Amino acid sequence: MKRVTMQDVAKLAGVSKSTVSQYLNKRYDYMSEETKRRIENAISELGYQPNIVARSLKQKKTSTIGVIVANILHSFSTKVIRAIEDFCNDNDFHVIVCNADDDPVKEANYINMLRAKQVDGLIVFPTGGNLELYEMMIEQNFPLVFVDRIIDGLSVDTILLDNEKAAYLAVEHFVNCNHTRIGIITTSLSRKVTPRIERIEGYKKAMLHFGLPIVDEYIKGVDLDYIQNALNTMFSLKEPPTAILAGNDLVLMEILRYAKENSINIPNDLALIGVDDVPFAPIFTPALTTIAQPAFEMGEKAAQLLLDKIKNEHKEQARIHRFPPTLIVRETT
């Protein structure tokens, strides 16, 4: 079939090609309702599909952004992505989502692929392993926003939870429930991922604030595959912890699995709080006490910042945008 062109639409509608172009780009300032109706009918009758690639080359923008998430399995990540997509959809932008699996090589490949596709900007949950690529994008003034992780020495707008406050709220609640042997487990600290480091730091500060000893054996930062071993070691202690803060949703599920397999009653034998208000928290038995992140607000802010940069409307100095956590008390404490 012969491809329908903009000229075909103009001919059928009885207008110029430039008028059709203005219609497609939503520039209606001097266009009558009758003209708009004729163009709309011509497009419908001919089945015309605009050549997005050609338009992008001409306008030097694609109205598309890329989102590279470190690990899409986290409930926090999926909520943030949903908020980004909603905001972009409302502003006529498309979103391409990539999952880096916390792998710097995959992340680098995705950055290069998305830039080759001429996306207008990137929102990245950075692995921290591609410093040169990050620096190059900053030097080129390429629109860029980080989420959930800080890369030291880089001036990039970053969306982040107040992680120390999150840990403090958990410890404070445990103390109010008369616990003194309080532990924390998070995933590996080898790459110095911001939330993991900050949550442990916040835990330590809270323990000191409440006059409780910091016991190294109660603090674990290991790969997900080794959390069961870490829990075994922790509960083999002469005085194991009676309360644990799970650093994220994946750690929380590992602790729940361990408790089930080892007949540990929650909350009678072990009090438990998880960072991230997972969807099953209120319907689990017992219902899970959690620290909620305002993920939708964080995702919307990330998208707003990026689109402002793309439109050259964001003139402020790059900074860290912190969001407050919320303690949701249920039945596991």
Which pLDDT does position 268 carry in this prediction? 96
Distance between CA 121 and CA 262 in Å, rounded? Answer: 48
Which pLDDT does position 6 carry in this prediction? 87
Asked if residue 266 lies in contact with residue 272, where contact means CB atoms within 8 angstroms, the answer is yes
Asked if residue 56 lies in contact with residue 118, where contact means CB atoms within 8 angstroms, the answer is yes
**Under 8 Å CB-to-CB from 174, ≥6 apart: which residues?**
182, 243, 245, 271, 273, 333
CATH of 163-293, one of 3.30.465.10, 3.30.750.80, 3.40.50.2300, 3.40.1790.10: 3.40.50.2300
Nearest to 196 by CA among 254, 256, 251: 251
Which pLDDT does position 59 carry in this prediction? 57
**Tokens of residue 149, six digits:** 């992780």
Phi and psi angles of residue 74, each rounded to the nearest 5 degrees, phi first: -70, 135
Which pLDDT does position 53 carry in this prediction? 57
CATH 3.40.50.2300 residue ranges in the chain? 62-161+295-323, 163-293
Question: pLDDT of the chain along its 333 residues, tens only?
Answer: 578 888 988 999 999 988 988 888 788 888 899 999 999 999 888 888 876 655 555 556 889 999 999 999 999 999 999 999 999 999 999 999 999 999 999 999 999 999 999 999 999 999 989 999 999 999 999 999 999 999 999 999 999 999 999 999 999 999 999 999 999 999 988 778 899 999 999 999 999 999 999 999 999 999 999 999 999 999 999 999 999 999 999 999 999 999 999 999 999 999 999 999 999 999 999 999 999 999 999 999 999 999 999 998 767 889 999 999 999 999 999
Phi and psi angles of residue 202, each rounded to the nearest 5 degrees, phi first: -65, -35
Residue type for position 286: P
Which pLDDT does position 49 carry in this prediction? 84
A 10 A CB-CB count for 200 gives: 22
Distance between CA 147 and CA 169 in Å, rounded? Answer: 22
Which pLDDT does position 56 carry in this prediction? 54
CATH of 62-161+295-323, one of 3.30.300.30, 3.40.50.2300, 3.30.420.40, 3.20.20.140: 3.40.50.2300
For the chain, the three-class secondary structure string (H helix, E strand, C coil) is: CCCCCHHHHHHHHCCCHHHHHHHHCCCCCCCCHHHHHHHHHHHHHHCCCCCHHHHHHHHCCCCEEEEEECCCCCHHHHHHHHHHHHHHHHCCCEEEEEECCCCHHHHHHHHHHHHHCCCCEEEECCCCCCHHHHHHHHHCCCCEEEECCCCCCCCCEEEEECHHHHHHHHHHHHHHCCCCCEEEEECCCCCCCHHHHHHHHHHHHHHHHCCCCCCHHHEEECCHHHHHHHHHHHHCCCCCCCEEEECCHHHHHHHHHHHHHCCCCCCCCCEEEEECCCCCCCCCCCCCEEEECCHHHHHHHHHHHHHHHHCCCCCCCCCEEEECCEEECCCCC
Cα–Cα distances (Å) from 107 to 90, 99, 111, in that order, read 27, 8, 6
Q: Is the peptide bond before 104 cis (omega within 30 degrees of 0)?
A: no
Distance between CA 78 and CA 71 in Å, rounded? Answer: 9
192 in the Ramachandran plot: left (φ > 0), alpha (ψ -120 to 50) or beta? left
**Tokens of residue 125, six digits:** 């949950």
